[in-house]
Amino acid sequence: MTDGRPKLVALKGLKVERRNLAQKAGDRLREAIIAGDFPPGARLTEVELAEALAVSRGTLRAALAELQAEGFVVCERYSAWRVASLGPSEIWESYTLRAALESMAARLAAARIEPSIRDALQNHLRALSNAKTASARAERDLALHLAIVEHARHRQLSEIYRKTLQRFRWIYALSEAAEPDRIDLYDWHEPLVSAICAGEADEAARIAHEMIMSSLGDDLRAAGESRGAEKSA
C-alpha cells in the first residue's frame, strides 16, 4: 500500500461457479485480509471490490455479510464497509477463547492417547522445523493445534474451534508480520506435544493454557507499541 489504498490486484480474476460465487468471493476476500492486503481499518468500496472479483454487487454484499458475521469486516452505514479493527479487546477475547478451547482439547487428547495419535502429533511437530516462510509457519503451527483439537474427539469443541480458526489465522499473520520468527516453533510446541503423548492430561492442559496466554501478552504489547507509533507519526 503506497497510496493508502488496499491492493485490489490481490483479488483479480475470480472465476467460479455461480452457485458458490458469494462463498468463494468471501473466501478470496478473507484470504486477502489475512495476508495483509487489506489491513485492519481499511476502507472497502463495493464497486471496486465487485469489479476486482468479477461478481455482482449483490453477490459481493452476500460475501461481505458472511465476513461480517465472522468478525472480519464491519458495515458502518449503507454500503460503507471497513476491515474490522484488532485492538486489545478483540485480541484478548480471541486469545482467551482459544486458551479455553485448546486447554480442554489437550486434556482430552492426552486422556485418550494411542499410538496413531502419538504418531500424528509427532509428525506435525517435526513439520514445524521446516517452516521457513511466514505463511508456512502460520499454517503448520495452526495445523498442529487443530490436530490436537480433532484428536480430542469432541464434536462440539471441534465445531466451535473451526468457526474461530480463520480469526486465529488473521491474528497470527499480523503477529508474524510484526515480529517475524519471534519463537522457534519446534522448541515452543515440544513440551505440549510431549505431555499429550505421555498421557499427562493435567500437564497438557496447563501447558496449552500457558502457551496461549503468553502469546496474548506478546501481542497486546505489540498492539500497544503499534498504536503508539501511529499517534506519534
- Are 16 and 114 members of one domain? no
Q: Which long-range contacts (CB under 8 A, 24 or more apart) does 162-165 make?
A: 164/94, 164/97, 164/98, 164/101
What's the pLDDT at 72? Answer: 95
Same-domain status, 121 and 221: yes
- pLDDT (average), residues 36-49: 92
Looking at the structure, do residues 214 and 116 belong to the same domain, yes or no?
A: yes
Query: Is residue 135 located within the same domain as residue 210?
Result: yes
Q: Give dist(CA 106, CA 72) in Å, integer.
A: 28
Of 207 and 88, more confident:
207
Q: Assess whether 63 and 127 both reside in one domain.
A: no
User: pLDDT digit string (tens) for 149-184?
Assistant: 999 999 999 999 999 999 999 998 888 877 776 789
Q: How many domains does the chain divide into?
A: 2
How far apart are alpha carbons 114 and 119 in whole angstroms? 9
Judge if 174 and 77 occupy the same domain: no
Question: What CATH number does residue 73 fall under?
Answer: 1.10.10.10
- Give pLDDT, residue 182: 74
Q: 7 in the Ramachandran plot: left (φ > 0), alpha (ψ -120 to 50) or beta?
A: beta
Please spell the DSSP secondary structure of 97-135, one letter per residue: HHHHHHHHHHHHHHHT--HHHHHHHHHHHHHHTT--SHH
**62 falls within a domain:** yes
Shared domain for 132 and 163, answered yes or no, is yes
pLDDT recorded at residue 220? 84
* Closest residue by Cα to residue 106 from 186, 196, 189: 196
SS3 content of the chain, % helix, strand, coil (to 5): 75, 5, 20
Same domain, 116 and 208: yes
Q: Which of 83, 106, 129 is the last residue of a domain?
A: 83
Does one domain contain both 17 and 122? no
DSSP assigned state of 84: P
Q: Looking at residue 224, what is its pLDDT? A: 60
Please report, for the domain that includes residue 190, its CATH number. 1.20.120.530
Set of cell numbers at residue 132: 521457513
Tell me if 3 is assigned to some domain.
no
112-137 residue pLDDT tens:
999 999 999 999 999 999 888 888 89
2 in a structural domain: no
Statement to judge: residues 92 and 197 lie in one domain: yes
Which residue range forms the structural domain that includes residue 54?
A: 8-83
| 184-221 per-position pLDDT tens digit | 999 999 999 999 999 999 999 999 999 999 989 878 87
Q: According to the model, what pLDDT value does residue 177 have?
A: 78
Boundary of a domain, candidates 31, 58, 83: 83
Residues 14 and 70 in one domain: yes
The predicted pLDDT at position 79 comes to: 72
Residue 209 near residue 99, CB atoms below 8 Å:
yes
Residue after which a domain boundary falls, among 48, 65, 83 = 83
Please state the pTM of the whole predicted model. 0.81
> Can you tell me which residue has the cell 485480541?
91
Note whether 126 and 111 are same-domain residues: yes
Structure-derived torsion over alpha carbons of residues 217, 219, 222, 223, reported in degrees to the nearest 10 = -110
